[in-house]
Amino acid sequence: MIEFEMPKPIVKQRYLLQTVAEQMMRPHSRYFDENEHEIPWDYINFMHEAMRAMGAGALAPNAGKEDTKEEPEGKKKYPPIGYQSLAFMLETLAWGDVGMYLVTPGGALGAAAVEATGTPEQKKKFLSRFNEEKPAFGAMAMTEPHCGSDTSAIRTSAVLDKSTNEWIINGEKIFVTAGKLSLLESDGLVVVWATIDPEAGRAGMRPFVVEAGTPGVKVTKLEHKMGIRASDTASIVLQDARVPFENLLGSPEVPKKETKGFKGAMATFDATRPLVAATGIGVARAALELLKELLGQQGVTIRYGLPRQKLSSVERDVIDMEIMLESAWLLIIKAVWMADNRKHNPLEASMSKVKAGDAVTKITQKAMEIMGPVGYSRDLLLEKWFRDAKITDIYEGTGQINRLIVARNILGYRGSQLR
Amino acid sequence: MYAFEPSEEQKMLVDAIHRYTVNDLRPAAHDADEGGDLPGNLVEKGWELGVLQASIPEQFGGFGDHSAVTGVLAAEELAWGDLAGAFAVLTPGLFALPIFLCGSEEQKKKYLPPVIEAEWKPYSAAMVEPHFDFDPQEFRTTAVESGEDYLITGEKVFVPYAPQAETLIVYAQLDGKAQGFILDANAAGVEIEDRQSLMGINALPLYKMHFNEVRLPKVNRLGGEDGHEFAPIIDASRIATAALGVGLSKAALEYSRDYALERDVFGVKVAQKQAIAFMLAEMATEIEAIRLLTWEAAWLVDAEKEEASREAYLACIGAIDMAMMVTDRAVQILGGHGYIREHPVEMWMRCGRGLATFTGLAMV
């Protein structure tokens, strides 16, 4: 069947979150943009309570829940929509303020990594904190000063101390979203990717859970960014940081040299890429809606249905933006629908990120261009959304890396065949 | 809920069409374009797949329920085979679908069974007009009242099979409103010029027609004396254009991808060069994006949602731009060989540009 009906639970959820976006995010967008590194605790505490009530503690579809092995008899099986719900949720919150969305409490990428690579015991141990009384944050630390896209070049090392059965981690991570919130402002965790064998490249990469309060872990810097300024982007130095053996995500056997660790990272990204793309669409939709509103106030309406030759340049631009926005959104929906239905979706996940990164960049840039001096002013949020938008095509796999993934997929190439 | 899986019946139809494209459409496509002629019973064989018949209910001679989504899937596959051949197979739909969507009960009962129940016949329609800013909501062809009749005056182009068509639908502006009229092609005042010569779809016979105060009875206004809404017709045309564009583009992507995988350059395959790989990645992403937009537009039509018309328009515009980009890049990826008519990519690029002006040549 081919269908495009928004499921009722999502309709309801969206309505609620739209209210949150309008009332708790937008009125404070400018303040937290101008006061970088101030923490939006009102929003954080509100969301924490709201999500506990909704049971969406870790912002990952099944975080902390038991796998339901048997449905009660006679219960009508509703199709799974966990990832679809998340996509809509993130789009709506990002429409409100994507920087603030990034400080929504929950496990975020950290939880996603645990979900993708952890044992059932580890999931329970590490994810339950996101459902406790106080808000907690999760983060993922991959990038280092010398390497971003080339993840296999990381140098942060993890060495096993057999006498204490602890991992000793040394290294520096940068660009860790919510790094400070996870380590210093809450009882959170950071999943740190380190190598247990630098010679082995990808095969030596492993994810380690570093909990708040771990000695030897220091937040050394908070970046000053173009946009998403409400989000803390941290540098973390690990100096002989010790974590229990069990904090190595995955099977507790003596680690062998294989690429499972790296593949674990990539599996994380298949799940999160469409969701990051969804946040981009939220920003794009905000810009496009404001643009149409402002144009309308100036008497410019969009005459859908006319041939190109009769449209004004501005009308044509807006129509192109709508096409970009809607088609990018559908790529995301298909990718998360596949995830919900347990269909392998690396191609669709990367396509959605390629398209959304491109769309939000072009939409926000064109919207500002059209709005001239009015759009350039900080009186409107439009210029903030232009600045917030750009990161979408960069983090969680750049547009270029994702094009590589799409290309490899459609060409049937391994990484070594197409660099 | 959201779902992206064609039904079993839809898959069967698409598979049948696929066999037709592989066995019949594709082998004939090159020579048909060069010679301006579709071979023998190619069109009849395509007709027998039942694409149109499956979208008309039993009471009017068909065997299905109309579904724009199914039509989209069929059109994608036909265009993947050959665009000119696809148009030829779908031509009777230009007559039948407007009557099904917008005709009066009497018109449906009178006109549909002869089209649906029989072998392929060139029932056709005249929509497109020869001016650069042609607008299917503001025809320059006019319909003027004259007693119990209307008089049709104007010029149309891109009319498929005009000389062979016995009955066709002509679109004209009546009191400022775009309307369709069922016309006897042999009526006085109808002039058909020589066959048109175009940049692409050469295998499809298209004609320019003149209507000099051609008389038709008021009951032959589509929808009867009260006329009809135009949106369903333009929506169906736009969605068809989009679907055909998606199919055409998939063909171009696959061909250029396979070429790049084979061709050697600087000690590696062309596909291993990032510039080429990125072109292909973007082509694939754009095709999929517009494909989903087209599916959504078709679903909105089937579900009778208010946003259907706007979405159909966006899908059509999106597909026009997408197909131009994809088919252009397909030629580029083949380099000098892409420019040579032995490979189909240059033909697909000529078709790709044509999509911007083909709305009205097919409906779903």
Q: What would the pLDDT profile of A392-401 be if each residue is shown by its tens digit?
A: 999 999 999 9
Say how many C-beta atoms besides its own lie within 10 A of residue A313's C-beta.
8
Rounded distance between C-alpha atoms, residue A238 and residue A156, angstroms: 8
Residue B278, chain A, CB below 8 Å: the answer is yes
Q: Cβ(B96)–Cβ(B116) under 8 Å?
A: yes
What percent of chain A lies above the pLDDT cut of 70?
90
Tell me the per-residue pLDDT of B279-291, one tens digit each, with 9 for 90 and over. Answer: 999 999 999 999 9
Task: Please identify among residues 297-326 of chain A the ones whose CB lies closer than 8 Å to any CB of chain B.
Answer: 304-310, 319-320, 322-323, 326
Contacts of A325 (CB under 8 A, 6+ apart): A281, A284, A285, A288, A359, A363
Task: Please identify among residues 14-73 of chain B the ones whose CB lies closer than 8 Å to any CB of chain A.
Answer: 69
Q: How large is the greatest C-alpha to C-alpha distance in chain B, in angstroms?
A: 78
Quick one: pLDDT band at residue A198, thresholds 50, 70, 90? confident
Nearest to A396 by CA among A205, A268, A229, A219: A268
Give me A235's structure tokens: 């540098």
Rounded distance between C-alpha atoms, residue B251 and residue A227, angstroms: 41
Q: For residue A260, what pLDDT is reported?
A: 61
Contacts of B58 (CB under 8 A, 6+ apart): none
Pairing of strands B167-174, B124-126: parallel
Helix axes B68-81, B231-262, angle to 10 degrees: 40
Rounded distance between C-alpha atoms, residue B234 and residue B221, angstroms: 17
Tell me the per-residue pLDDT of A201-228, one tens digit each, with 9 for 90 and over. Answer: 888 999 999 999 999 999 999 999 999 9
Q: Cβ(A82)–Cβ(B2) under 8 Å?
A: no
Contacts of A41 (CB under 8 A, 6+ apart): none
Phi, psi of A385 (to 5 degrees): -65, -35
Tell me the per-residue pLDDT of B4-28, one tens digit each, with 9 for 90 and over. Answer: 999 999 999 999 999 999 999 999 9
Rounded distance between C-alpha atoms, residue B259 and residue B254, angstroms: 9
Q: For residue A70, what pLDDT is reported?
A: 43
Q: Inter-chain contact B274–A306, Cβ cutoff 8 Å?
A: no
Tell me the per-residue pLDDT of B178-214, one tens digit each, with 9 for 90 and over. Answer: 999 999 999 999 999 999 999 999 999 999 999 999 9
Residue A154, chain B, CB below 8 Å: the answer is no
Q: Inter-chain contact A331–B285, Cβ cutoff 8 Å?
A: yes
Contacts of B47 (CB under 8 A, 6+ apart): B89, B92, B119, B120
Give me A183's structure tokens: 């380590």
Residues composing chain A: 419
Tell me the per-residue pLDDT of A73-120, one tens digit each, with 9 for 90 and over. Answer: 555 567 899 999 999 999 999 999 999 999 999 888 888 888 888 899
Average pLDDT over residues A386-393: 98
Provide DSSP, A106-122.
B-HHHHHHHHHH--HHH
Chain B residue numbers with beta carbons less than 8 Å from the beta carbon of A80 are none
Provide DSSP, B287-300.
HHHHHHHHHHHHHH
Give me A390's structure tokens: 């750009």
Say how many C-beta atoms besides its own lie within 10 A of residue A310's C-beta.
14
What are the start-end ranges of the H helices in A143-259? 179-183
Quick one: pLDDT band at residue A68, thresholds 50, 70, 90? very low
**Is A396 noted as a catalytic residue in this protein?**
yes
Say how many C-beta atoms besides its own lie within 10 A of residue A387's C-beta.
18
The 3-class secondary structure across B335-354, one letter per residue, is HHHHHCCCCCHHHHHHHHHH
- ipTM entry: 0.95
User: How near does any CA of chain A get to the CA of B112, in Å?
Assistant: 28
**The Cα angle at residue B319 between residues B318 and B321, in degrees rounded to 5:** 70
Rounded distance between C-alpha atoms, residue B244 and residue A209, angstroms: 51
Q: Please provide the average confidence, as pLDDT, over all residues in chain A.
A: 91
pLDDT at A363 over 60: yes
Residue A53 amino acid letter: A
User: How near does any CA of chain A get to the CA of B7, in Å?
Assistant: 5
Q: Please provide the average confidence, as pLDDT, over all residues in chain B.
A: 97
Rounded distance between C-alpha atoms, residue B355 and residue B317, angstroms: 10
End-to-end CA distance of chain B, in Å? Answer: 24
Q: Inter-chain contact A4–B299, Cβ cutoff 8 Å?
A: yes
What are the start-end ranges of the H helices in A21-61? 26-34, 41-54
Q: Inter-chain contact A418–B284, Cβ cutoff 8 Å?
A: no
User: Buried (b) or exposed (e) across A111-130, using 16+ Cβ within 10 A?
Assistant: bbbbbbbbeeebbebbbebb
Rounded distance between C-alpha atoms, residue B89 and residue B112, angstroms: 17
Say how many C-beta atoms besides its own lie within 10 A of residue A181's C-beta.
26
Pairing of strands A166-177, A157-161: antiparallel
DSSP-derived 3-state class of residue A136: coil
pLDDT at A182 over 90: yes
pLDDT at A14 over 80: yes
Per-residue DSSP letter, B122: -
Q: Inter-chain contact B69–A404, Cβ cutoff 8 Å?
A: no
pLDDT at A251 over 80: no
pLDDT at A356 over 50: yes
Strand partners, B269: B264
- Is pLDDT larger for residue A271 or for residue A160? A160
Chain B residue numbers with beta carbons less than 8 Å from the beta carbon of A322 are 314
End-to-end CA distance of chain A, in Å? Answer: 38
Give me B224's structure tokens: 């009867």
Tell me the per-residue pLDDT of B66-121, one tens digit each, with 9 for 90 and over. Answer: 999 999 999 999 999 999 999 999 999 999 999 999 999 999 999 999 999 989 99
Tell me the per-residue pLDDT of B107-135, one tens digit each, with 9 for 90 and over. Answer: 999 999 999 998 999 999 999 999 999 99
Helix H or strand E segment including B326: helix B308-333
Give me A55's structure tokens: 């049971």
Quick one: pLDDT band at residue A270, thresholds 50, 70, 90? confident
CA distances from A155 to A169, A258, B235 (A): 11, 17, 57
Tell me the per-residue pLDDT of A311-337, one tens digit each, with 9 for 90 and over. Answer: 999 999 999 999 999 999 999 999 999
Which domains can be identified in chain B, with CATH numbers? 8-116 (1.10.540.10), 124-220 (2.40.110.10), 231-357 (1.20.140.10)
Residue A136 amino acid letter: A
Quick one: pLDDT band at residue A64, thresholds 50, 70, 90? very low
Contacts of A128 (CB under 8 A, 6+ apart): A64
pLDDT at A67 over 80: no
Q: Inter-chain contact B282–A4, Cβ cutoff 8 Å?
A: no
Q: What residue in B sits closest to A310 (Cα-Cα)?
A: B133
